[in-house]
Amino acid sequence: MYKYTYVEASAEGFFHPANHRELIDKYSSEGWRFVSAIPSLFGTHGVIKQFDLVFEKEEKEE
């Protein structure tokens, strides 16, 4: 069985850089495996402004 966590990440913008690489590195160092990125906020003309990074980790059975 796997457990999942969803982390909000910002896309590249005019005033701020994207932060997805740092988040993926951080969570992978904690044992999470990156699964997917799901767009969660759109700007004008359908431009992605934010997305959820999906990570999974196998649960230890007791």
Q: Where are the domains of the chain?
A: 2-58
Q: Are strands 2-10 and 48-58 parallel, antiparallel or unpaired?
A: antiparallel
Find, among 60, 48, 40, the residue nearest to 13 by Cα: 48
Spell out the per-residue pLDDT of the chain, length 62, in tens. 999 999 999 887 666 677 888 999 999 999 999 999 999 999 888 888 899 999 999 998 76
CB burial readout 17-50, b (16+ within 10 A) else e: eebbeebbeebeeeebebeebeeeeeeeeeeeee
